[in-house]
Amino acid sequence: MAVVGPNATGKSNLFDALKFLSRLAQVDVRQAMQELRGEPEELFRQTPSGNQTVMTFAIEVLLPDRGVDDFGASFETPAQRLRYEITIEMREEPYGIFVTHEDCRVIRAEDDKLVFQTPAKISRSGRKTPFLETEKDPQGRSRVFTLRQDGVAESGTSKRGNPLQLPAAEASRSALSTIATSEFRHLYALKKLIAGPQFLEINPSEARKANDRFEDKRLKSNASNLAASLSEIQRLSATENRPAGAIADISADLAMLIPQVKNVRVLDDTKNREYAFDVEVRDGTSFSSRVISDGTIRLLALLAVIDDPNRQGILCFEEPENGVHEGRIPDLISLLRDATEVQNEDGDYFQVLLNTHSPAVMRSLHPEEVLFADMVRSVPAEGDDSQIRTRMRRIAPSKDLFDDEHHLYPEKVEELLRNRAGGI
C-alpha cells in the first residue's frame, strides 16, 4: 500500500501513528511520545479554539495463525481477525498523559470489512467476550483493564483462570505492553504484531560504518547496523551450494536497479572483530561501503529487509524513489510487491507501506494499492471554527467510476502531484 500526495498533507502522520502504537505496545506513554517529532503536549491536535486533550486509535489486524512466545512456547490463534482500540488523555490534575481506555475483541465474519484477499482461509472464532476491555472493578468503584487468559495448558485444555485486572485510573502504560507470555495468546500475538513494524529512515553516513560483532542484527531505522544485518542474513541463509545465501538475491536485485553493480560482499574482519561490506562493479573494481553513493546505500538497506528470508511484519518506507533512476522505479515497485505476496511458515504476511510524492512511483502502482492524501478545510457539526484535516481517497481505475469526495482517478492524481500548490 502506498500513501501518495504532495508535501505537508499528513502522509508522515500515518507513519507516526503506527510508530506511536508500536512503542505503546512496548514502553510507557511518556517514553513512546519522546521518540516522536515534537514535545508530548504538541502531539495532541491543535485547533483555533484550543488544544485537544484526547487521542484515540483503532487498528484491525490479521494475526498469524500460530507463533512462539519469548520462552519458546508454541501457540495457535483460532481468532485471526481482531480489533484493538486505545485512548490516551492529557490531564492537568494530576498532571500527566495516561492510558484511559483499551479494548480488544474478535471481528466477526459478518462485520468484517477486510479488503485484502488472503490465499489461505482465515481462522475465525465466535467468541463474544473481549480479550481485553476497560470496565469497573468488582466493587464498581474505579476503572480497571481486564485481561482474559486464553492460552492452552500442556494437557491441551484451555487456560481460563480468573481475569487479570490492572488499575486504569492513572495508567502510565498500556495493558497490552504488560503481556509477556502466550497464556494470553491472542493478546501476545497482537502485541508482537503491533510492536513489529520497521521504519526505514536511512542515514547513509551511518549505514556505511563497519559494525561490532555484538551489534543488533535486525536492521535499525537509520540502517546504522547494515553490515551486521547483511552478515546475519548470509549466516542464516548460506548453504554448501550457495555460500552467500540470500546475499546473492540482494546482489541480483541491486544489479537490476543499478546496472553497474555486479556483486555485494560481506566482509568479516576477524582481526578487528568487525563486519563490513563492499560492492563490486562490472569491470571487477570493488568499492568499500565508505565510498559508494548514498543512493546505492539506500537501496542496499531496503533490499536487506525485503530479501531477508526471515522478513515479517510491516515495513514503512518513505520516498522509495530517492537514489533510483526514474526508469528503474517500476522494477523497484515490482520487487516490493513480490515480497508481499507470500506468507511465512507461521501464516504471517509481510506488508510494505510506502509514502511518496513521486509521479513516477504513482504510475508504477496499481490503483487498488494507492491512498491519495491531501488537506481539506471542514466545519465541525458543532461550533463555528473550521479545521484543516488530512483526507485519504482511494483511486478508481478510470475517470468514469470516481466521485470527487471519496475517489480520484490516476490521471487526476498525477496532475495534483505535479501541481506545486499541492491541490489544497
Separation between Cα atoms, residue 145 and residue 174, nearest integer Å: 9
Beta strand pairing call for 74-76 and 132-136:
unpaired
Instruction: Enter the pTM of the model.
Output: 0.86
Residue 176 cell numbers, joined: 497490552
Separation between Cα atoms, residue 174 and residue 23, nearest integer Å: 10
Beta strand pairing call for 143-147 and 274-281:
unpaired
CB atoms within 10 A of CB 338: 11
The continuous run of DSSP H or E covering 303 comes out as: helix 294-306
Residue 251 cell numbers, joined: 546482489
Beta strand pairing call for 2-4 and 370-378:
parallel
Separation between Cα atoms, residue 372 and residue 391, nearest integer Å: 8
Homologous superfamily (CATH) for 199-365:
P-loop containing nucleotide triphosphate hydrolases (3.40.50.300)
Q: Which segments of the chain belong to CATH 3.40.50.300?
A: 199-365
Question: Is residue 86 a contact partner of residue 174, using CB atoms and an 8 Å limit?
Answer: yes
Predicted local distance difference test score (pLDDT) of residue 94: 80
Q: Over the chain, what is the mean pLDDT?
A: 87
What are the pLDDT digits (tens) for 80-116?
999 999 999 998 888 889 999 999 999 999 999 887 7
Predicted local distance difference test score (pLDDT) of residue 384: 58
Predicted local distance difference test score (pLDDT) of residue 98: 94
Best CA proximity match to 288, nearest among 298, 299, 278 = 278
Question: Is residue 375 a contact partner of residue 390, using CB atoms and an 8 Å limit?
Answer: yes
What are the pLDDT digits (tens) for 121-142?
888 988 999 999 998 776 666 7
What are phi and psi for residue 206, nearest 5 degrees?
Answer: -75, -35
What are phi and psi for residue 230, nearest 5 degrees?
Answer: -65, -40
Residue 287 cell numbers, joined: 568499492
Find cell 479494548 and name the residue.
103
